[in-house]
Amino acid sequence: MGAQEVFRWAQIGAHATVSLFIHPYGDREFASFSIVPNLASNVPSGAVQVKARLTVDMTHRHVDGVAYTLSVENTSVGPQPFIAVRLLEFAQTF
C-alpha cells in the first residue's frame, strides 16, 4: 500500500515546531509517517538548505482508538527559511 498525504502545513517559520494529534487507528492497524519539506520563502532556492525533523511521540489510547502526536521542527539553514511540509502516512491493517 502506498503513502497518502494526511496533512499539510503551508508555512513553518525558522526554527519553529508545530504539532498534530492524529487519530483514530484501530488495534489492528499500523501507521508510520514521513514528511516532505519544501521551501516556502521568497528567497533563491540555493540560498537555503531545506531540512525538517519529524518526531512521533508515544501512541495514546483515545476514546475512538489509538492516536499519535506528531511534531515537525524546521531545522533549515539560510536566510528566512520558511518551509511548507507535507505529512505522508503509510498505514496497513494486519
pTM beyond cutoff 0.85: yes
At 12 the three-state DSSP class reads strand
The CATH class of 4-93 is: mainly beta
The confidence band for 1, taking pLDDT boundaries of 50, 70 and 90, is low
Q: How confident is the model at residue 89 (pLDDT cuts 50, 70, 90)?
A: very high
Question: Can you tell me whether residue 27 is helix, strand or coil?
Answer: coil
Would you list the domain boundaries of the chain? 4-93
Q: What is the pLDDT of residues 24-37, one digit of tens each?
A: 898 888 899 999 99
2-29 confidence digits (pLDDT tens): 899 999 999 999 999 999 999 889 888 8
Residue with cell 519529524: 54
